[in-house]
Structure 1
Amino acid sequence: MLLFLKNPLSLSPFTPFQPIAAIATTQTAAETLSPLCQTLGATLHLPDSLTPLHQAQIYTGSLKEYLPILWNTHKTLIFCLATGAVVRLIAPLLENKAEDPAILVIDQKGKFVISLCSGHQGGADRLTQLIATGLDAIPIITGASASLGLLALDILGFPFGWRKGEGDWTGVSAAIANGKTVQVIQEAGSTLWQNHLPEDHSFYFGFPEHNQPIAFSGRIWISATKRKFASSSDFPKVQWHPRVLWVGIGCIRGTSRQLIETAIEEVFQRYHLATEAIAGLGTIEIKGDEIGLLEYIEQKQYPFKTFSAEVLKSINVPNPSTVVDQEVGTPSVAEASALCAAKTHFSSTENPVLIVPKQIIKSDSESGAVTVAIAQSEIEYTARKGQLWLVGIGPGKLEQITPAAATAIKQADVIIGYSLYLDLIKPLNRTGQIIESFPITQEQKRAQRAIELAQWGLTVAVISSGDCGIYGMGGLVLEELQKTGWDGYHPQVEIFAGITAIQAAAARVGAPLMHDFCTISLSDLLTPWEVIEKRLEAAAQADFVTGIYNPRSQTRTGQIVKAQEIYLKYRSPHTPIAIVRSAYRQDEHITLTTLEKMLDFPIDMLTTVIIGNSSTRDYKNWLITPRGYRS
């Protein structure tokens, strides 16, 4: 038997912001931050003048002297003191928004969470929303993109692993903030970000017709091409580089790292390609131990793929070589490796294209030679470890969603679910999220799509009503993962529990579940009716309180009738029954009746039926099932 323990913070929605330091200078502030630190996995820092709290880090001297230590060792700093004081403390330490830690301020009563600095690239805006959700506080975010309902330009490509290129980022961001028309020319990378822009966005995609000139105030290039922008341009431009280029490498044994790097840069410059768009490198297996190549890979932190001669030999290339074939057993190393590396593992329809045929680069100053070829993938490399979050949203009212589940929903890159459930959680959606809806009969497609996106590197939240592991999407997603040969780690899976339908229904009518109970779904889409009927017989005979899920649909009406017949064989016709439709939602409807009369009332797929046991009683419209069977 293998015994292992899971770190509860390993897949936390707060992991991207770690390490986090929380700072308080008063006892009230310390008590406000202490429980928050447990949720975030943060360390609370207190002066020695305060009463120490559990696991707090105590510092001596002034906070002004202590703060530089935290500044250089943490990604996020959360202050619980006056905003003005925080501004004065951090002012001497600020350098630039790409390197400064995220700075947040929380008031002493925990009513407001303020994103102060590094809102976009540092993640302060997003963390502010997450913390405010957990505290039921008001998030204060003052960036222009937030007010426009747009993802900030300088983090637009981060979910997809894009890299920023050259350009006037401030100028284009200002044009967007002022509602000016900004042209977007996307030649590579995912277009998912385009699908959820607000209706009144000012982006213009592509090129206008010749007879319809448009005055643009900015331009965004999304491409593997490296463009040089003239300083005299009429309007500002920026470029994002999706990582879609895979470099195939061949080299003479002993070629240096410097020559390999020089060769790649020379080829990229020759073909006007951006090295920022490099996804990774590929070569033949026998070159997998080449020192110069390994040093280059380690320096650049690129993924490195090696292929057998047999695999490379099966690839059609434009420039095969008989000499290379005699040497290594395949007529192509660089071109074939580039094409093989560009073929991702999760897309069977992808057709990479060789955009640069093999180029042989030598140096006059050192021995060795490098062969470089470049293929472009249809799908970018994200450089992220994908995560699948299986989230139960409870009965549907926002107040009934656990703080952990709400935080996961707000943090996820993608939310997938049934349209009804997605509508229920709309207030938790944040700017830039990808929302994908599937009909109620396409659960398997939901699971497969979620797995595909998580394998790609996104964080995907799959939504279920109630608890995702009880008649929800949890089991189906895990089954589909098993079919793919999932190793248990990639993508990572985390389950966020929710209040089940039976719990919600029971809470609305009293305490009917105080003794042994069971739940049975009457839907025979996935379970044969003979099996369901057998379970109804067993539960009725054993005197279980029974929660009936999916009792009746528009086309399936006879099962609830049969269930009543079965229970009447073993229970009194006066057995209390609760019929609860849409518990805790706006259209909630509750009926208390008896077993013999239960079919006199409306029952549908949004209804949960609770059948009491032989001891359940109805007292002043509250159902009570005694904890024991005493006379």
Structure 2
Amino acid sequence: MIALTVPGLETARLAAKAVGGEVHARDPLEAEASFADIAPRVRALFEAGRPILGVCAAGILIRILAPLLGDKRAEPPVLAISEDGASIVPLLGGHRGANDLARQVAEALGGRAAITTAGDARFGIALDAPPPGWILANPADAKPVMAALLAGASARLEGEAPWLAASLIPFSAEGTVRLVASIQDAPGDEATLVYHPRRLAVGIGSERGADPAEVATLVRSTLAEAGLAPGAVACVASVDLKADEPAILAAAEALGAPVRFFGAARLEAETPRLANPSDVVFAEIGCHGVAEAAALAAAGPGAELVVPKRKSARATCAVAAAPEPFDPRAVGRARGRLAVVGTGPGEAGWLTPEARRLIEEADAIVGYRLYLELIEGLNPKAERFSSDLGAEEERVLVALRLAGEGLSVALVSSGDPGIYALATLVFECLERAGLPDGARRAEIVVAPGISAMQAAAARIGAPLGHDFCAISLSDLLTDWEAIEARVRAAAEADFVIAFYNPVSRRRRTQLAAAKAILLAHRPPDTPVVTARNLGREGETVEVTMLSALDPERVDMLTVVIVGASTSRRIAVGGAERVYTPRGYARKRSAE
């Protein structure tokens, strides 16, 4: 949501509530994110693939995005909304969600969705955007088919597709346009569109460590020999013991289908419907079959086994068909994913696209209360689990447990999660005994963020331009003797040093001790940068000399960067800057 004015901000907030959006407003308006210049913000969001709803004149968005327009199939939805919410106009991506967004916003605001795409306007549907549970096998042919219908041709429907039958498309037995609805593989052309209802569930069983190529070949041949369309596959299914089996996960990815898992007890309940029950399998894992049982469990009680179990050297495959398209999210459970996400120091513009995506995709978000407040506008539909500072292990265990239950979880930390943050604790907990089996089989993703030392360096110039290191002065997890030895070694090696956790209410002596060590090895006028509340309200970045560094003016929200003996302070454009030369002057003189 893009807002430029006070009335527009109110409209943006109402629309955002209706569609789960995030409000970006022009300074000084207060919103989840702010910007000074609309053009770079809109272009950045567009290039990141994010749907954009601008509460502004359509011409503003058109002029900003015109240089970026190319492949319409890859462009995110872009809509213009009038300040009063009376008119909602999809500008781009009508068949990629913009028309649906316009209808949702119009209902929420009491306005009118100005749908201008020809198919929607004439026939009430978009032939190249079938409803959930359906896929168009040959989208490249949608344009000539739609052109023929708009020119007066009639269509004939082959198979059952209630959404097509209920449209305003003219149907007749002699129609020159064919609209085919089938789970069977069928060719399409400029006069034929083939739609596949996602009614199939592919069940897979495999030995541990099976070759992904073998399993993929088995799945492809199973579908091909039965004449079934890969596009009709709603999901791949297996027993939960295989939730981390690479071959099964790869097979699902190749089909472009989600993978769902079932416990052995649930699969055992399908035994009466199995074509090939196995006592051997029952003895091993507690159910009489995996491939057939998983396919039937996923496709539901009304399903039929259309392809009984087929075998390769180390895997099995079966296919079940449901009577109607089904939502795979409603059956079994997902593998589960724990994304350890770094949000950067706090400024919205420093949040990476990957981190943003993982937060927006999460079913649950876990983090320290302050960090969750910094991303309050992102993914408001996700359940939030917060705790106080110092409860890091508690947060990690909660996140792992949720991921083990099949949820997509974002574990949020500030800065970079791998630098004095939660990523290392996640792997430490995974290495221990006692975690639920599902937690150990969850996917683990670490999304980097901008660290405090990077942000501080960027604000003041380039103090990390040559060799540097980071040292935490907290002795809660590391003995002070070890920290002191590291500070001395870094001082002797003339590294630029970024000090994390420099002081706290309880720890008041460590920074002073580090200062004393450094003064024994580098000049008293060595530049020191103290950066507090980076990217947040009350941010301060100051430069002083090593000899003048006052530990009493530093707290836990501060990162301290101590320059090397070669680091320099200079005045540029009326502001003081710090940088550490890397040696380019020497390189030039040598040339």
Q: TM-score, normalised by structure 1?
A: 0.46
Q: TM-score, normalised by structure 2?
A: 0.49
